[in-house]
């Protein structure tokens, strides 16, 4: 049985990696999907893949760092499908592992704009739809970097800690209004989020090599996006009706050490 029949889901960062896996899996389980990403060509390919599989999808180019784009994607869900039941804030960017004494203002603002400000604005817009009907699920893709201090630099670590706090606050305050808000904290995953990082020439190479890299070596393995997407499917469905205002870790046991 399809778990998301007749639901409308908006998935950001849907052109590749985890976002693509979530969008395709949701569509395969009966959801009508609004797939959002900055990369239009890759997004159109995902739209075609979902359509070829018999799913219902509408793609939209948007940048999570642009408030007008964030508002437009929620409007697109309403215009195209008449409502919004599930919001997945998946789009995110990595930093360059700079500690707080070395991070630039520009890098800090960019990471916060995409990883925190955009999701907050998307949640605010989505709740205008969800609260009147007393029903809705928000899933924020955080990271084990939002629970621990040595998986990234100051900017990314802070953004994901803050996203988890926002998740808890939203889920708790609106629990009696039919809203669930949950975060997923993946460990290492086979995606392109770090493709532009030159690990041989990091700004804080010595700190990375002595303080961060040793912990990276303890990671049992890297996950495939679909492994985490299946968790996102569960959390969006009625199977997870009592899971709210919390963070579910999917890291293969990395943080157990």
Alpha-carbon distance of 29 to 72, in angstroms, equals: 25
Q: Band of the pLDDT at 200, cuts 50, 70, 90?
A: confident
Residue 142 within a domain: yes
Nearest to 60, CA basis, from 10, 117, 127, 7: 10
State residue 15's pLDDT score.
98
Residue 257 within a domain: no
State residue 36's pLDDT score.
98
pLDDT tens for 28-76 read 999 999 999 999 999 999 999 999 999 999 999 999 999 999 999 999 9
pLDDT tens for 226-252 read 999 999 999 999 999 999 999 999 999
Residue 237 within a domain: yes
Query: What is the span of the domain harbouring residue 218?
Result: 8-250
Q: What pTM, to 2 d.p., does this model score?
A: 0.96
The CATH number of residue 140's host domain is 3.40.50.720
* Residues carrying an active site annotation: 156
- β 136-141/32-37 pair status: unpaired
Average pLDDT score over residue span 67-92: 98
pLDDT tens for 99-154 read 999 999 999 999 999 999 999 999 999 999 999 999 999 999 999 999 999 999 99
Q: Are 8 and 86 in contact (CB under 8 A)?
A: yes
Residue 3 within a domain: no
Number of domains present in the structure of the chain: 1
Residue 244 within a domain: yes
Residue 204 within a domain: yes
Residue 159 within a domain: yes
State residue 77's pLDDT score.
98
Burial letters 180-210, b for 16+ CB under 10 A, else e: bbbbbbbbbbebebeeeeeeeebbbeebbee
């Amino acid at each position: 049985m399809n778990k998301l029949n007749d639901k409308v889901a908006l998935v950001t960062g849907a052109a590749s990696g985890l976002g693509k896996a979530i969008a395709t899996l949701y569509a395969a389980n009966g959801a009508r999907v609004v797939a959002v990403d900055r990369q239009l060509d890759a997004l159109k390919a995902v739209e075609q893949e979902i359509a070829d599989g018999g799913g219902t999808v509408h793609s939209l180019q948007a940048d999570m760092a642009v408030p007008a784009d964030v508002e437009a994607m929620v409007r697109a869900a309403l215009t195209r499908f008449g409502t919004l039941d599930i919001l997945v804030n998946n789009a995110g960017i990595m930093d360059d592992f700079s500690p707080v004494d070395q991070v630039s203002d520009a890098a800090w603002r960019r990471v916060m704009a995409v990883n925190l400000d955009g999701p907050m604005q998307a949640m605010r817009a989505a709740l205008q739809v969800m609260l009147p009907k007393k029903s809705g699920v928000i899933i924020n893709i955080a990271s084990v970097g939002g629970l621990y201090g040595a998986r990234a630099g100051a900017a990314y670590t802070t953004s994901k800690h803050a996203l988890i706090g926002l998740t808890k606050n939203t889920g708790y305050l609106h629990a009696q209004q039919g809203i669930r808000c949950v975060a997923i904290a993946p460990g290492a995953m086979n995606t392109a989020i770090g493709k532009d990082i030159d690990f041989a020439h990091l700004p804080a190479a010595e700190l990375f090599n002595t303080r961060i890299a040793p912990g990276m070596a303890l990671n049992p393995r890297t996950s495939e996006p679909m492994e985490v997407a299946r968790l996102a499917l569960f959390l969006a469905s009625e199977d997870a009706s009592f899971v709210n205002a919390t963070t579910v870790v999917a890291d293969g046991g990395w943080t157990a050490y």
